[in-house]
Amino acid sequence: MSARVTPAESPPLWLVAPFFLAAPAGLAAAGVIIAGANSDSFAGVNLPRNLAIVHALVVGWVTTTMMGATYQLIPAVLGGRLFSAWLVRLQFALHVCAVPVFVWAFYHWDLPLLEIGGMMVCGSLVLYLANAVLGLARGSRPGVTRWYVMAALSFLLATGGFGLLWVMAMRHALFPITFDRIAAHAHLGLLGWLGLTVMGVSYQLVPMFNVVRGTEPRFSRVALVVTVAALIAFAGVMLLAPPRPVRVVFAIGLAAGPILWGLDLLRLMHHRSRRNLDVQGRATYLSLTMLAVTIALGFTVLAMQVVSPERNNTHVVVAYAMAGVLGWMGTMLIGNTYKILPFLLWYHRYRPLVGRAPVPVTADIYNDRAATAVLASHAAGVAVLVLAALLENTWLLRASGGIFAAVAVAHLGTMLHMFLPKTSSRPMAPATRPLVAR
């Protein structure tokens, strides 16, 4: 069976690249705030400083990167078509204006400004969702990844909606914000939006990049169904302040999906034909390790709450959230950035020259050693941060902030380096005709 060559579909370089280049600013901002931490940091989860750090990371770094990645993957991998390039540009402009306002308002606990910042962020999310959903609807390849992305987009809407509602409730004293409501918002965002996107996309990309044939994932559908069901039940029940034992059931449900996904990924990686690991392969293993740490810390938080609810367990909550956002998500994002951006650059700059001139391959476009150094430094930062939180050590905490700020700069540096002209490391065809003849 044969099919005719179809015209290529990859979005313009300067539609997607700005998201990747702007995102490390979120990591840098979080790093700077963490570096300036004082001994109050573990007094309460809800401290303005802690909220500013989490939102700089999640909305600034992780979500911005994921927006860029999905704008690339929807046409290139999922077979969809972006609704409008101008809508993407408008959304980017709104997003980069919204995040600093949002983080600043959290840091200074300025509720009126937080409401404005929250509305701006939600505006950016709605524009993004419109483009992504319409893009997916306009023809897409069948497959489980598409359903993961659809579910993740729905949870993104729910996360943004709840978040804005909580801010407005505080600003206008509409109803009390309980810790359970904050937990619902956080898990919808962390697992629903970020987690499902990472899970779904890696089901597609990990077998592709690592050349896995003859081994199919076992739990891709089950993990999606379990996670979606657990999240809806968890968010619904947490709004109603459930008794402690009910929470244990939902916590197990929330952990089940990522665990099944992790087992699948380990199996796929074990059966890969491409034995030489590059930065993305290393990131996959690191990310799975961090996921295991996150789940262990999550159950520790739960156990502490059930056993002695009056004890301040802020430090373990901080370790749990940071292992999830910076560890599980962050390492995966760093690894995949070194796949997506070089491919985009190859596609737009070098593919038109294939056969006519020596053309670099993606491995020539980014520096795998530098990328691995960035990844390793980031993982070290996560380890120091989690340790600092568990020991409630302010000095270690500040050190981890310094590491993240440096990682953000180095990560940006390796990305900018990709844009410099590159030469091919591969031999060129013996010239059948001189190049000048054309």
Partner 1 sequence: MKPSVVAGILRHVYDPELGIDLVALGLVYGIDADDEHVAVRIAMTSAGCPMSDALLGSAEAALSYAFPGAAVEVMEATDPPWDPAMLDELARERMGMPPRTASGARRGPG
Partner 2 sequence: MAQVELDNRGLMPPEPMVRILSALATLGDDDDLVALMDREPMLLYPELERRGFVWTFAEAGDGYVLTIRKASP
| DSSP alpha helix (H) spans, 77-215 | 85-107, 111-137, 144-171, 179-187, 196-209
Please identify which residue in 214, 275, 310, 429 interacts with partner 2, judged by CB under 8 A.
310
x-or-dash string of contact with partner 2, 249-288, rule CB under 8 A: ----------------------------------------
229 binds, among partner 1, partner 2, none (CB under 5 to 8 A by kind): none
Closer to partner 2 at the Cβ: 181 or 378? 181
Rounded CA separation 304/310 (Å):
9
Which residues have C-beta within 8 Å of that of residue 35, sequence separation ≥ 6?
398, 401, 402, 405
Which residues have C-beta within 8 Å of that of residue 401, sequence separation ≥ 6?
30, 31, 32, 33, 34, 35, 36, 37
47 binds, among partner 1, partner 2, none (CB under 5 to 8 A by kind): partner 2
Does 49 contact partner 2 by CB under 8 A?
yes
x-or-dash string of contact with partner 2, 81-120, rule CB under 8 A: ---------------------------xx-x---------
Least Å distance, CB 163 to partner 2, is: 14
Least Å distance, CB 386 to partner 2, is: 21
Q: φ and ψ at 98, to 5 degrees?
A: -70, -45
Does 370 contact partner 2 by CB under 8 A?
no
109 binds, among partner 1, partner 2, none (CB under 5 to 8 A by kind): partner 2
Q: Which amino acid is at 239?
A: L
Q: What is the DSSP string of 320-363?
A: HHHIIIIIIIHHHHHHHHHHHHHHHHIIIIIGGGTTTS----HH
- Distance between start and end Cα atoms, the chain: 35
Does 37 contact partner 2 by CB under 8 A?
no
Please identify which residue in 10, 178, 215, 300 interacts with partner 2, judged by CB under 8 A.
178
Please identify which residue in 116, 129, 144, 177 interacts with partner 2, judged by CB under 8 A.
177
Least Å distance, CB 40 to partner 2, is: 5
Does 216 contact partner 2 by CB under 8 A?
no
Rounded CA separation 160/125 (Å):
8
**Is residue 369 within 8 Å of residue 376, measured between CB atoms?**
no
Task: Output the CA–CA distances (angstroms, integers) from residue 60 to 28, 199, 270, 276, 357, in the order listed.
Answer: 10, 20, 34, 33, 40
Least Å distance, CB 270 to partner 1, is: 14
Does 175 contact partner 2 by CB under 8 A?
no
Rounded CA separation 193/94 (Å):
20
Closer to partner 2 at the Cβ: 181 or 422? 181
Interface residues with partner 1 (CB under 8 A) are 1-10, 73, 76-77, 79, 141, 143, 204, 207-209, 211, 213-214, 273-276, 339, 343, 346-347, 350-352, 354-356, 359, 361-364, 425-430, 432-433, 438
Closer to partner 2 at the Cβ: 221 or 311? 311
Please identify which residue in 21, 47, 87, 303 interacts with partner 2, judged by CB under 8 A.
47
Does 43 contact partner 2 by CB under 8 A?
yes
Q: Residue 412: which of 3, 1, 22 has the closest Cα?
A: 22
Q: What is the DSSP string of 237-290?
A: HHTT---HHHHHHHHHHHHHHHHHHHHHHHHHHHT-S--S--HHHHHHHHHHHH
Does 243 contact partner 2 by CB under 8 A?
no
Please identify which residue in 1, 3, 173, 437 interacts with partner 2, judged by CB under 8 A.
173
Does 395 contact partner 2 by CB under 8 A?
no
Q: Which amino acid is at 417?
A: H
Which residues have C-beta within 8 Å of that of residue 132, sequence separation ≥ 6?
70, 71, 74, 149, 153
Least Å distance, CB 69 to partner 1, is: 12
Contacts to partner 2 by CB under 8 A: 40, 43-49, 51, 108-109, 111, 170, 173, 176-179, 181-182, 305, 309-312
